[in-house]
Structure 1
Amino acid sequence: MSADLPFELGALSAWMDGQRIGQGPIQHVRLLTGGTQNILMRFCRDGRDYVLRHPPANPRTTSNRVIAREIELLGGLTGSKVPHPALIAGCTDVSVLGAVFYLMEPVDGFNPTVALSAPAADDAAVRHRMGLELMDGLAALGDIDPVAVNLQNFGKLEGFLDRQTGRWASELAGFSQFAGWEGPAALGNVEAVGHWLDDNKPSSMKAGIIHGDFHIGNMIYADDGTLLAIVDWEMATLGDPLVDLSRVLISWPDAGVRMPYTMRVDRLDGFPSRAEMVRRYADRSGRDLSALPWFEVLACYKLGILFEGTHARAQAGLADKATGDRLHGAAVALLDNARRIIARA
């Protein structure tokens, strides 16, 4: 067993034999960066490249369930217009490699938050296309009928919007367990934002599959700006796709202005404006966007609370202090942005 892997390559090879996926030894093994919660391992067998996704050596209690849901989701996306890593095969028998895992096709491209490719860095037109492709991919995801791809039980649609505020308010309250956390005072009146969300909740929604963490850091692009794959589906569920749209919009720069919560891409010029992104999504999806401000406030509320969680853990000595301080600043800015959107609504 490799020191970096919690399973034997021989066991993987034997399982692939049983699935009739290639023959011979597993070669050219390397771990990929970007999988902070799970193992991503690229390898070659019988002249074909694969990527394996497997829980970490010290998995969370939910790791197997999360990976099994990813298998289900990627299976449902097979044959769709949604750019995604193609599923080759999955295994939910934990006796094989000690955990649920799956194989997918490699996607050769670049992640903009790691580094822009040279063509993307040099050409504003490529960056512009990247933004529009992001909207096209999101619209394609929202167009899928979960029933048609056997994902009707992939999430609980009833009460989806009703649950949002309470869930994240409880998350914020739970940070009090971290000794040393200074509390939510620096975030301003978070409770008032929650009350506004409850009082102005849309009366209905057009349901679909949602990614759950839709932003440019979870995209793989080709050098010409084509969106090759949306990745990291571990938070996917059923709900209102405007949750995903608002998540990307709040981190999107306008006129190249960088905020503490702006997407972490080296060059911001050249990308479409926020208004152009909204128009593109509206055109491609045909969805009613009249409630978009509500979803943007929700996105600021959720992400701000998530960021503050890292700050709370950092103050308790359980996370890096510099990261905690940076995310605290972003949390404050996000809640301030939520209040600005409310004032305009």
Structure 2
Amino acid sequence: MDAQQVPGHGAPTVRYVSGGSQNEIFEVERDGVRMALRKPPQTAVAARDDGIRREWRILSALSDTDVPHARAVAMCDDPAVLGRPFYLMEFVDGWSPMGHPDGLAEPFHSDVAARAGLATGLVDGAALLGRVDWRSAGLTDFGRPEGFHDRQVDRWLTFWERTGGRDAIAGMAVATAWLRTHRPIDFVPGIMHGDYQFANVMFRHGAPGTLAALVDWEMGTIGDPKLDLAWALRDWPAAGPPRSAGYISLVGMPERDALLARYSEVSGRQVDDFDYYLVLARWKLGIVLEQGYQNAGDDPLLQSFGRTVEDLMLAAADLAESTDFRHRVEAGSGA
């Protein structure tokens, strides 16, 4: 820490915060300075080391931007120090929707009217992230934006096959065929979180709802930021008030059209092709969750993914068949 000129002096105190098979998070305090340490557990696969390095690249690139995030402090790539590569970042004083009743801390759990700012903050975070000049931020080698949409179907079908996905899921063939023959109206590459939703942001304590930080960057890449928007809003109905996103109540939050207009205003991007992204988001999430279902064992949560996958595929197919979005490409065309 001294060699890296980490703030504070002397030996730190360390408190375990949370962890799983992919990452562990610790609170590190040194001379009154609070930081968070993120690293893979000792049992994680070797690829998680590269994931930690990728997360650090993104956090570093976001410095001096208006994207709410935990400020990057220091990176250690030497596994001799703690057994795996790790990094230190600013400790964010806020709350996460995970672990609260209906996903809402007070006063938002009790005050329905106060929840509008949470949804607006979520959308603003996606818009601000997509607005970052990723080339100037040093991320020109961070992803492959060229042909991004042309790769999606084959890439995720390969993932499905590799994880032993079921042979027939109602709606999957319809959604897959639709995605092969449709593209968005335009494609403006940008930084993409990759799993953007309420579970992966933090808010400041107290009202009004103010976004404190986007967190958990292991899926980050250079891609299409509007897919983050669809990922975040996939549980909103096309019209009428939203109700629930499973782990968080959406009651009291703005309707989808208002949030799409907000995103367009902040990001400077058009959202007339949102249906395309919503079909892709539902279809892709279904494929991702199928992996959990195939590995469920006796875990009731992972077992429930089986029905969720079926619901997502049907929702993707229903939207594909009913939308009036008609920006088509020839089947099999490449970048």
> Is residue 277 from structure 1 mapped to residue 234 from structure 2 by the alignment?
no
Query: What secondary structure does 2:109 align onto?
Result: helix
AA aligned to 2:94 is: G
Q: Deviations over 1:18-51 (max 9, x none)?
A: 2232222222x22113665211000211121111
The answer on whether the counterparts of 1:216 and 1:263 sit within 8 Å (CA) in structure 2 is no
Larger displacement relative to structure 2 (226-235 or 200-209): 200-209
Which moves more between the two structures, 140-149 or 325-334? 325-334
Equivalent of 1:134, from 114, 117, 122? 122
User: Is 2:75–2:87's contact at 8 Å kept on the other side of the alignment?
Assistant: yes
* 8 Å CA contact 1:252, 1:263 repeated in 2: no
RMSD: 1.7
Cα separation, 2, equivalents of 1:251 and 1:112 = 16
Counterpart of 1:264?
Answer: 247
Q: Which residue of 2 aligns with 1:311?
A: 293
1:165-202 residue CA offsets vs partner (Å, 9 max, x unmatched): 111111222233xxxx7x242x2141231111011123
Name stretches of at least 5 consecutive residues in structure 2 with no aligned partner. 324-335
> Does the alignment pair 1:226 with 2:210?
yes
The answer as to whether partners of 1:53 and 1:102 remain within 8 angstroms in 2 is yes
Unaligned runs of 5+ in 1: 1-15
1:250 — aligned with what? 234
Deviation at 1:264, TM superposition (A): 1.0
In structure 2, distance between residues paired with 1:36 and 1:256: 33
Match of 2:64 among 79, 91, 97: 79
Alignment partners' CA distance in 2, 1:43 and 1:150? 28
1:9 matched to which residue of 2? none
Q: CA deviation at 1:94?
A: 2.7
CA shift, 1:113, in A, is: 2.8
TM-score (norm 1): 0.87
Are residues 338 and 95 of structure 1, via their aligned partners in 2, closer, same or farther at CA, if it must alter by over 3 Å? same
C-alpha deviation, 1:210, in angstroms: 0.3
Q: For residues 1-345 of structure 1, what are the structure 2 equivalents within 5 Å?
A: 16-21=1-6, 22-27=8-13, 29-33=14-18, 37-115=22-100, 116-176=104-164, 183-185=166-168, 187-202=169-184, 204-222=186-204, 223-224=206-207, 225-252=209-236, 255-258=241-244, 262-265=245-248, 267-314=249-296, 317=297, 320-345=298-323
Q: Distance in 2 between matches of 1:168 and 1:271?
A: 32
Match of 2:331 in 1: none
How far off is 1:110 after superposition? 1.0
The 1:97/1:34 distance shift into structure 2, 3 A limit, reads closer
Q: Distance in 2 between matches of 1:123 and 1:34?
A: 31
Q: What is the CA distance between 1:125 and its match in structure 2?
A: 3.0
TM score, norm. by length of structure 2: 0.89
Question: How far apart, CA to CA, are the structure 2 residues paired with 1:151 and 1:125?
Answer: 40
Question: What is the deviation of 1:95?
Answer: 2.9
Shift, 1:54, TM fit: 1.0
Distance 2:299 2:189 in 1: 39
Q: Show the counterpart of 2:329.
A: none
The residue identity in structure 2 corresponding to 1:227 is L
* Separation of aligned partners in 1, 2:110 and 2:48: 40
| C-alpha distance in 2 between matches for 1:333 and 1:203 | 27
- Mapped partners of 1:330, 1:38: distance in 2: 25
Give the aligned length.
Answer: 315
Q: Secondary structure at the match of 1:120?
A: coil
User: 1: distance between equivalents of 2:134 and 2:121?
Assistant: 22
